[in-house]
Amino acid sequence: MNFDVILVRYGELTTKGKNRNDFTRVLINNIKSKLEGYEAQYKLKKEFDRLFIELLDPTVSQTIINIVKNIFGSSSLSLAKRVDRELETIANCAIALVQYYQPTTFKLEVRRNDKTFSLTSTEIKQQLAPMILQQTNVKVDVHQPKLQIDVEIRREFTYVFINKIKTIGGLPVGISGQGLVMLSGGIDSPVAAFLTMKRGMNVEYLHFATPPHTSEEALEKVKTLVQKLYHYTGQNQQRLHVVNFSMLQHELMHISDASYRITIMRRMFYRIANILAVEWKCQAIITGESLGQVASQTIESINVINSVSSLPVLRPVLCFDKNEIIAIAKEIDTYQTSILPFEDCCSLFVPKNPVTKPRLAQAEFQEQNLMWQEIIDVIIKKNIKTYVIGRDDIHEES
């Protein structure tokens, strides 16, 4: 059966007040961006509480649904038939749906969006239901119907649909500014990136590599993770910045108290991330830290590491346990990539007995004899590569 409209429901966006248009404008821009290449096959029509994707080519309906349902900012969508507002026409459309799907039972729901329509929702239902029953063998079941037919009467047209497809929800990416994700290649940080985008923040990615200790396969793994996360953003491309951390990593081996190495290494990560975030106009740092999961994620460690950051640090999975994080990673298809056996620089250089309750004064004392400031200056100028990652392409930025 050919449908001619995809009806998109705004969900959380309907709770917004005078700034609702800002949210819907970003959502529409994101949809247009992700549907690049399909411009000749659809048109967009915005109403106060709905967005309508009019299908000029019904054969691409499933392709468009698969793209739009993973764009943050809507709650559900439905394939619909658009008809005029005559009850007989609406009934004929509903009858055609019953005849096509051949259910044994059905339920009819009517929503009268246009309050100037002469009949109430209940009156419309009372007139439509007998017309459907007379022309089909279907029976009414209001509790567990095999088919539910929904009718929305609006000012210009009526929309008849049978299915509600749950979309990813959240806020449109870009409405909440921009952040820099510290992407390790493990399970947690891709989930943190996903959850940050779900709250409307656009993200760039920062990865620390220590060649030759970390392999080219480890870098390819991170690129793959960004490409998987690309499906949830509102942009055509995302940027992955890779910092060669080897020079600073070797310098950190001179720390006299080895138990502080991972603490100080992460302080260096934050220092570099802050400099780059300001340069790239990012307003926050995002990490995959989960409270108490490892030594560097105790509250004492978080406080000592966080003290070098002038930007806010967002930790979307802070209060999730590992199983909860894994469940999301599987849902967004990053889990199998994250567990590939290619280690990142954090896991390679963890000391045998890392400190779990570091003290700020001791961390600063351990840093005193290191040339970390000079090395960071060199890293910022010479040791960063940027990759542009899109739907079908990954290339190094010139």
Rounded distance between C-alpha atoms, residue 157 and residue 321, angstroms = 48
Residue 183 lies in a domain: yes
- Tokens of residue 107, six digits: 């339920």
Residue 22 lies in a domain: yes
Any idea how long the chain is?
398
161, 184: one domain: no
- Taking the chain (398 residues) in runs of 10, the rounded mean pLDDT of each run is 92 85 94 93 92 94 95 95 96 96 96 94 96 94 95 95 93 96 95 97 95 88 94 85 94 92 95 97 97 92 97 97 97 95 67 90 95 96 93 84
Q: Give the up-direction half-sphere exposure of residue 225: CA atoms within 13 A in the CB hemisphere.
A: 34
What 8-state DSSP symbol labels residue 30? H
262, 292: one domain: yes
End position of a domain, from candidates 166, 194, 218: 166
Query: Tokens 């923040």 belong to which residue?
Result: 201
Closest CA to 392 of 269, 160, 236: 236
3 state DSSP class of 119: coil
Residue 173 lies in a domain: no
* End-to-end CA, the chain: 48
End position of a domain, from candidates 114, 135, 166: 166
3 state DSSP class of 355: coil
Q: Give me the pLDDT at residue 348, please.
A: 58
Residue 172 lies in a domain: no
- Tokens of residue 66, six digits: 């698969």
Q: Give me the pLDDT at residue 346, please.
A: 60
334, 231: one domain: yes
Closest CA to 77 of 178, 161, 184: 161
Closest CA to 205 of 273, 291, 266: 273
Rounded distance between C-alpha atoms, residue 121 and residue 179, angstroms = 46
Find the CATH number of the domain harbouring 145. Answer: 3.30.2130.30
Rounded distance between C-alpha atoms, residue 175 and residue 26, angstroms = 7
213, 126: one domain: no
160, 210: one domain: no
Residue 184 lies in a domain: yes
201, 274: one domain: yes
Residue 171 lies in a domain: no
List residues bridging with 106 in a β-sheet.
140, 147
141, 216: one domain: no
182, 158: one domain: no
List residues bridging with 313 in a β-sheet.
285
Give the global pTM. Answer: 0.92
3 state DSSP class of 340: coil
Q: Residue 284 belongs to what domain range?
A: 178-396
Rounded distance between C-alpha atoms, residue 132 and residue 149, angstroms = 11
Q: Give me the pLDDT at residue 390, please.
A: 83
Rounded distance between C-alpha atoms, residue 346 and residue 268, angstroms = 12
- Tokens of residue 378, six digits: 């060199």
- Tokens of residue 73, six digits: 């900012």
- Please give the tally of structural domains in the chain: 2
End position of a domain, from candidates 145, 166, 187: 166
94, 205: one domain: no
Rounded distance between C-alpha atoms, residue 228 and residue 238, angstroms = 11
223, 353: one domain: yes
Q: What is the largest CA-CA distance in the chain?
A: 89
